[in-house]
Every structure is written in C-alpha cells, then in structure tokens.
Amino acid sequence: MTLSALLVLADGRFPAGGHAHSGGAEAAVKAGRLKDAADLESFCRGRLHTTGLTSAALAAGAAHGLDPYELDAAADARTPSAALRAASRRLGRQLMRAARAAWPSPELDALAAAFPRGAHQPVVLGTAARAAGLGPEEAAHCVAYETVGGPATAAVRLLSLDPYQATAVLARLAPEMDQVAERAAAAAGQGVDALPAASAPLLDLTAEQHAAWPVRLFAS
Amino acid sequence: MDRVSLRATARIAADADGGLPLLVSDGPLALRRTRAAGPYTRVTVVGAMSAPLGGDRLAIETEVRDGARLLVDSAAATLALPGPSADPAAYDVRISVADGAVLRWLPEQLVSAAGSHLRMRTTVDLAPTARLVLREEQVLGRHGEVPGTLTTRLTVRRAGRPLFDQELSFGPGAPGGWDGGAVLGGHRATGQLLVVDPAFADKAVEARLYGENAVVSPLAGPAALATAVAPDALALRRLLDAALSELAPF
C-alpha cells in the first residue's frame, strides 16, 4: 500500500471530472431540503450510508480483483435511476482516461476496451486503485470521501455556504467514512453476491427531476 | 399480545390451468383463494395483522409455473410490532416466475410501529419471458407515531443475471442520515413499483416525472421502477397507482 498514491487518487484536483457533479445537492437545494450546514451534514450522512456504502463496496470489489463485468452488472442493478447510470458511466470514462495516464496497467486497458462508453465509476476507481498498488479498503475510503466531498463542495457554490463550515461537516463525518469503508471492504471480500445495495429514494427520485431541468449548474 | 417468537412458512404454487397445486397457510400467514377479475388466479394473504413481532421468522414462498397468471394481494397492511424478543423479526419472501408466466404481487403496506425492528427480504427469480408487477410500500409509524426500525431488501434476478437490487433502511436503528435530504427528507411513506416485461426490450420505458414526489425510470434491463415518497400511505398509493396503470396494462 502506498499512502501517497491514495492521496493522488482521492485529491479533488485529480482530473476525473467529479467537480461537475453535485451528488444530488443541487436538486436538494432547489427542493428546499438543503439550506445550511446542518442540512448539509444530514444530507451527506444519508448519502454516505446509502449510495456511498454501495459504491464503496463496488470499488473495493474491483480493487480486490473481483470480475469487473459482474461488478458492472451489480452496479447497474443497484442504480435504478437512468440519469445516475449515465452519470456514473460518464464519470467512469473520464476517470479511466486519467487513471491510465497515472498508473498504466493491462487491467485498466482491458476494462476500457470492454466498456468503450465507460464502465461504472466505482468499478473504474477500484481497478485504478489496484493499478496504483492500493487495496480494497483504500479504494473504499476514496469513494466514501468523494461521496460526501462532492455535495459539500457543491453546497459551498450553490448556497454560498461558509467553506470552513463545509469542511467542518466533512471532518465530523470522518469516523463514519472510516466505518463505511471498513464495511465495504469486508463485504467485497465475500464476493459479488455479498455486496451491499443500500440506496436512497430521494437521490434516485431527484436525479431524474434534475436531469429534466433545462438549465443547471451541475451535471448531476 | 404476549406470546413466544414463532416460525412460519406459507407456500403458493400456481399452474397455467388456473390451479393452485400448493396453497399452504402457516401460523399467522393465512392464504385464501379469492375471486379474481380477468385471467388471474388470485391469492389473498388474510392473516398477517398480528405479526411480525420481534423475534418472529416468517416466510412466503411462491412459485409461478410455466404460463401461469397469478395475483397475490393482502387483506390488510402488515404491521411490524415490538415482540417478546429484542431480536429483529425476519420476513422473507421468495418468488420464482417461470417462462410465459405473470405475477402481480400487490400486497398492502408494511407499517413499522414504534419500537419494532423488522428485516424484510424479497428475492425474485424470473425466467427470460416471465413478467412481473411488484409493489412495496414502507410506512414509518402508525398515525402520528415515531417509526420502528425497518430494513427491506429487494433482489430481482432475470435469467440468472442481476436486474434490480435495493436495500432501504429507516428508523432509530438505521444508519444515520435516513431522514435527511438525501434519503427521506421528512417523508413518512415511501414505495416502489417494479414492472418487468420482456416487451420493454423493443419499446423502452422513458423516464417520467409524476409531480414532485414520484418518478418512473427505466432499469438497465427490460424493466422500469417507480419510486415515490409521500407524507402518508394514502398519498403514496395514489402516486404508485398512477404509475401502475401506465406501466402494467397486463
């Protein structure tokens, strides 16, 4: 394991396109469910324990070396929103480009060839983590962090929220991110059938509403 | 309502000729053949009101054989209550639908009463040409009551491949944030209507919004899911009924 490689992969400056996505925060702001730092914290906590856990386990599974085709099918089955499936594959394609430049590997090449329109982002992330010499738990940490980091950054832009407050939310969630990463990695060690499928009705619902907006700041 | 925890497994099997070669009630899960409109054989679960209590392990196994058309509903909502045991109650629904067969699985709501803890697990295996309409509704607390802890998992495989897999977890024993703006946002009822129809492979369902609180989205296979949230069970049912009449005319 190389801790520095994990920092490179998890860095918001890693050119994988994540900054264009709000993780459902833009729709939650418009619906009046995300107005301040307290709302951001409960939004991020809910996202972390649902889609965050599910995505982290998919990434951990890929880092563990589980069959990426089965993982991609498992991601499809766990993503009922067509808008979120499309966003995940688009992000997977962008991450793939950056990951192949950063950590060239035959496994990344094979995954890119098998999914020319993009594999699901957590599957690409786990495969990239593996190429970077990282293990399942590190891959899961990376996903857990981006699950809450994305909405927090978006909330600063959408609400003009104090960035110190947004960062404090992330710091308070750190112990739960660790728990989620640990659970995700443990599940991934038991194979594709044991992967969690935790999900969030409002994220699925509002993703489709958001995709229908004529004008929006974020892609999802 | 003092009693010890119980185990019960009810069984249904339906044939293409309208017969029910297996219709086995067990404990609180009483099954009745009821009068059906149209081409469906209809089975109604009549007795689940007093269960599941904490510690109970209930199951219903349903086999819809080649070419059969089966409708399963329930006479009343299923109410999860606290029981003699601090252990969670378990309710397992196992369904298989064979080629050319249709299952409409339309039970009443699952209500999570204060202090209860229920894990519900539904697994469905569909043959390639099977059709399915399946509704699940989770209601958090009776009127004006705080909810218990409720975890539901719905796993659907089609031709042996994963088609849909979703776990929902609400209430005081659920992971944090379940009532925040990402998950329920203060709503007290949520539901899903899943429709699987091989015909969708040629004529894909398009995403569709039903006001602010419901949406239909196509899945990655020949299937569509309506997802709805609502303040209460009645408002929820209205939303899912609207989706039902459009998605599943069969």
Cα dihedral B145, B231, B60, B200, rounded to 10, equals -170
Burial B133-148 (b: 16+ CB within 10 A, else e): bbbbbbbbbbeeeebb
Chain A contact set for B179 (CB, 8 A) = 42, 46
CA distance B228 to chain A (A): 7
3 state SS of A195: coil
A33 touching chain B per CB within 8 A: yes
Residue B169: CB partners within 8 Å, gap ≥ 6? A49, A198, B149, B150, B151, B152, B175, B178
Q: How many CB atoms lie within 10 A of CB B191?
A: 24
pLDDT in tens, A32-86: 999 999 999 999 999 999 999 999 999 999 999 999 999 999 999 999 999 999 9
CB spacing of A31 vs B212 below 8 angstroms: yes
Q: Domain residues of chain B, as ranges?
A: 11-247
Residue B119: CB partners within 8 Å, gap ≥ 6? B88, B89, B90, B91, B151, B152, B153
B149 touching chain A per CB within 8 A: no
Residue A55's φ and ψ, nearest 5 degrees, are -70, -40
A21-211: CATH architecture: Orthogonal Bundle (1.10)
pLDDT in tens, B162-183: 999 999 999 999 999 999 999 9
State residue B48's pLDDT score: 59
The ipTM (two decimal places) reads: 0.96
pLDDT in tens, A142-190: 999 999 999 999 999 999 999 999 999 999 999 999 999 999 999 999 9
Judge contact between B224 and B217, C-beta under 8 A. yes
Nearest CA in chain A to B186: A33
